[in-house]
Amino acid sequence: MARLLLGVSGGIAAYKALEVVRLATKAGHAVRVVQTPTAQRFVGAASFAALTGAPVLTDEFERDPARGAFGDQEPPSHDPASHLELVRNADAYLIAPASANTVAKLAHGLADNLLTSAALAASCPVLVAPAMNHHMWEHPATQANLALLRDRGVTVIDPGTGALATKHEWGTGRLAEPAELVAAFEAVVPTGARPWDGLKVLITAGGTREPIDAVRYVGNRSSGRMGYAVAEEAAALGAAVTVIAANVGLPRHPRVRYLDVETAAQLADACAAEFAAADVLVMAAAVADFRPAAAVDGKLKKSGRDELALVLEPTPDVLSGLAARRRPEQTLVGFAAEHGAGALEYGRDKLTRKGLDAVVVNDVSVPGVGFDAAENEVTILTAGGDEHVPRTTKAEVARAILGSIDRLRADATTAS
């Protein structure tokens, strides 16, 4: 948990600052917001107040009901000056969006509103995320102002390139994505502030593809959504996350490291290289149990054939192999995608047979959950008992899995 002071200046991208607040609070950070008067023409204070659960300030002379305190702090007994107290308490000050005008004021030390006075008083790290029309972005004055800020140690999070707010305009100037902004904030706050800081988490996701010839493969319907959700939630708790991604086409989280693989053999090699350094392994990938015994060089021709038989050979069970050489303090979580009756029994069998700490069982015969779906319904099996997670988003299921890992690790610490 860290304290984020978010300064919102005037621009259409102010609406994206709401998402920054949502992601940061979801990650367990305490957030306070200050706005410029122009920012309030784009997004009202009530929206930020509702998401942060704290008063939003615009004016230096406005009384702060929280007296400069963040959600995890007791307000002081006196009324401090807000522009001093907020930055004194914050672990970092992120100004997003920073308009061309606000960038200019910050560069030249102007302090004509609460946002800019707080920036001048800040001894914590300051991050500036500009957002503006591409002509304003490209103007030498803006670029010189940003160079001044960078020289003074301010982290500038460059805007992206794409469609801009004005109709038919395209160029550089759109605010960086909210997840990138939260990641930039987390990169500058002291480590140890979040519950999983320092923990190394290895996750496999997606489905392997086993070549039949140069263009065809034997594969499965796993999209990688469940593994990616676990990765994002673990990164939000502060963990250093590596995902071994088997054929996943989903958006990637800026704070997660991704290693791409295609086949079960490549996934096994990547796991072998990464496993020793991991504290936690979450094996969400659907790994092929069988592969074509011999992939054909080039492309198989259909001419002259009435039928085509594929000979498949078993692949090594990656998870069992890793479990056989685990360190006792590592936490190993497997998945069991079962079809229909007996799912929990099969899952329990995998828990003991594969030597795991937890198995996440889902019944893929239920429509709308599991493979290639946005939602899931699972039962998390551990030696200590079962937890049923009713149908919900994969992000919620991921949080339940991380909760189980927390309990398993706490039990292991007490036992040792």
Cite the active site residues.
220
380 forms beta bridges with 360, 387
Q: How far is the CB of 321 from ligand CTP (least distance, A)?
A: 8
Measured from the CB atom, is 99 or 208 closer to ligand CTP?
208
Stretch of 64-72, 186-194, 311-319, 390-398 contacting ligand CTP, by CB under 6 A: 311-319
Give me the 324-363 binding string for ligand CTP, x by CB under 6 A, dash otherwise.
Answer: ----------xxxx--------x---x-------------
CB of 237 to ligand CTP, least distance (A): 21
CA distances from 57 to 34, 40, 46, 63, 307 (A): 5, 11, 11, 9, 73
Contacts of 265 (CB under 8 A, 6+ apart): 291, 315
Q: Based on CB atoms, which residue is closest to ligand CTP, 3 or 350? A: 350
* Interacting residue with ligand CTP among 21, 100, 278, 318 (CB under 6 A): 318
Residue 319 makes contact with ligand CTP by CB under 6 A: yes
* Token pair of 188 as six digits: 């500058």
Amino acid in the structure at residue 147: A
Closest to ligand CTP by CB, 255 or 350: 350
Task: Rank residues 174 and 291 by Cβ distance to ligand CTP and give the closer one.
Answer: 291
Q: Is 285 helix (H, G, I), strand (E, B) or coil?
A: coil
CB closer to ligand CTP, 100 vs 318: 318
DSSP, res 10: S
In whole angstroms, how far apart are CA 326 and each of 53, 319, 358, 377?
44, 10, 14, 29
Phi and psi at residue 16, in whole multiples of 5°? -70, -20
> At closest approach, how far in Å is the CB of 319 from ligand CTP?
3
CB of 113 to ligand CTP, least distance (A): 54
* Number of residues that this document lists for the chain: 416
Q: What is the rounded end-to-end Cα distance, in angstroms, of the chain?
A: 27
Nearer to ligand CTP, 158 or 349 (CB): 349
Token pair 């140890």 in the structure block, residue: 192
Of 122 and 226, CB closest to ligand CTP: 226
Burial class (CB in 10 A: 0-12, 13-18, 19+), 265: middle
The widest CA-to-CA distance across the chain, in whole angstroms, is: 90
**Residue from 317, 375, 406, 411 in contact with ligand CTP (CB under 6 A):** 317
User: Which residue shows structure tokens 């020289």?
Assistant: 151
Q: How many chain residues touch ligand CTP (CB under 6 A)?
A: 15
| CB of 37 vs ligand CTP, minimal distance in Å | 54
Q: Which positions from 80 through 139 interact with ligand CTP, judged by CB under 6 A?
A: none
Q: How far is the CB of 337 from ligand CTP (least distance, A)?
A: 5
- 238 sits near ligand CTP (criterion: CB under 6 A): no
Identified binder of ligand CTP from the candidate list 119, 285, 332, 400, rule CB under 6 A: 285
Measured between alpha carbons, how far is residue 273 from residues 210, 270, 276 in Å? 21, 5, 7
Query: How many CA atoms does the CB half-sphere of 356 hold within 13 Å?
Result: 29
In angstroms, how far is CA 150 from the centroid of its own chain?
A: 27
Taking the complex as a whole, the smallest distance from the CB of residue 317 to ligand CTP amounts, in Å, to 4
Using CB under 6 A, which of 6, 33, 261, 287 touches ligand CTP?
287
CB-wise, 6 or 356, nearer to ligand CTP?
Answer: 356
68: left (phi over 0), alpha (psi -120 to 50) or beta: left
Q: Are 183 and 190 in contact (CB under 8 A)?
A: no
- 39 scored as a contact of ligand CTP (CB under 6 A): no
Place of tokens 């008063």: 55
- Single out the residue of 9, 113, 145, 315 in contact with ligand CTP (rule: CB under 6 A): 315
Tokens of 237: 């708790």
Instruction: Write down the residue that tokens 């807000």 correspond to.
Output: 82
Interface with ligand CTP in residues 255-284 (CB under 6 A) = 264, 283
Compute the distance between CA of residue 78 and CA of residue 64 in angstroms, rounded to an integer: 11
Binding part of the chain for ligand CTP, among 8-16, 130-138, 192-200, 316-324 by CB under 6 A, reads 316-324
Q: Which stretch binds ligand CTP (CB under 6 A): 47-55, 130-138, 317-325, 393-401?
A: 317-325
**Site residues (CB under 6 A) for ligand CTP?**
264, 283, 285, 287, 289, 315, 317-319, 334-337, 346, 350
